[in-house]
Structure 1
Amino acid sequence: MKYYVVDAFADKVFEGNPAGVCVLDKWLSDDTMQKIAVENNLSETAFTVKENDGYRLRWFTPGGEIDLCGHATLATGYILMCFVEKDAQTIHFDTLGGKLTVTKKGDLYEMDFPSIETEPYELTDAMIDALGVTPVEVYKGRDLIFLLDSEETVHNLTPDFEKIKQFPEGLAVFVTAKGKEYDFVSRSFWPKLNVNEDPVCGSMHCSLLPYWYKKLNKTEMVARQVSKRGGTLYLTYCGERIKMSGKAALYSIAEIFIEEY
């Protein structure tokens, strides 16, 4: 079966976040998809099957299936428009995170995603110990969000991933601060799913954009994830939904050989 790797939220290869994309004629077993994700060893491998007028989309990390993923959705939309439905300008997906779309607008791929609200949360000594810094604020939704005092602190952070794994709360840990060149910067850590740092995390911005909308009173922002690879996201706050855009670069096209398929 065909297997693609796309660098999402990237102007060129070796930037952004690499996602695996498998376009299937029929579903594989959950166990096989999980094994493929482990074998690929990327933060997410996306699996998609044509259903009615759109596609069913699922995302697997090396540590298990996840309910929302931005960069692998962008990557899948890019692959479908480039190689499967070449005349399409919009792809509709049905996912565990609800109905999502990817629309091509020039050299950007715009996604319509849910807006995730968070609530203030209590800072603990364990959090300070794991991060190695004292956050200014803490918020919680599905994940934990830590506001840090500066862009430099976000850049230089060296958290203890084993200690983050022990947090009883939050699937992932996000750190963010007001940016200099960009509206805000961030980093994303998922050690509970065997991904210490996600290079560019789209789903994180479903929580960060509503947060920064309240802080900056802006509906349109440009954000930068300041991981080693780095990536840029163009964001619009629309209340219950957000628009999230980025570029994509094709890294590889390959074939996977498995007996089940």
Structure 2
Amino acid sequence: MSDVLVVKGLNARYGQVHVLDDVALSVRAGEVVAVVGPNGAGKTTLLRTLSGLVRERSGSVQLNGAEIGSLRPHRIARAGLAHVPEGRGTLASLTVEENLLLGAQGRSPKQAAARVAEMYDAFPVLGRLRGNRAGLLSGGEQQMLVVARGLMGEPKLLAIDEPSMGLAPIMIRDLIEMLRTAVATGVAVLLVEQNTALAAELADRVYVLVRGTVRAERAGGELPTDLLADYLV
């Protein structure tokens, strides 16, 4: 599998606070890579930096071999990186379908409609709820909606922050299937997740981020004791 995302020597600051320190990681096509770590480790900042929302940054970020590290957020999105931030972020007053269409910017109405139909095929629950206002959906349904909206633009990489937060166990199972559906289409997924058991189950590889530094990289599956010990530092 070829690398979709390659990050080398990534540093990021908020003013005088150095949040990311020489981070290096990669994500291959059709792969789920998880980033775990304690609160304050820099996980959310990592995704915000990759998507261009953090401006005080240095290092190399390549998407399908093209350098995107210096681009503005809208150009990074057009290059194929879809960022699904923590907190779901649906527009409550809009319907499911209207929320989906927000992810189709730059497409013709015909292309957008075709892509919406593909999302309904992939996530039938959304098809049944297409006319419902997003604010009336359950937490799990809203999470499904924001992921589908991120996929509307056919991204090369889906970067998703804490997707399981606040979800009941049954909805976490749906989330797993949803992300596996996305990966089956060839999308690479970079997942920031506080739930280490979910990260281990879903991911092909796991990076441990502690105080802005990558401390370990492991294959997916059951998290080994040494990784957990590092995670809990």
Same fold (TM > 0.5): no
The structure whose residues are more often helix, as a share, is: 2
Q: TM-score, normalised by structure 1?
A: 0.27
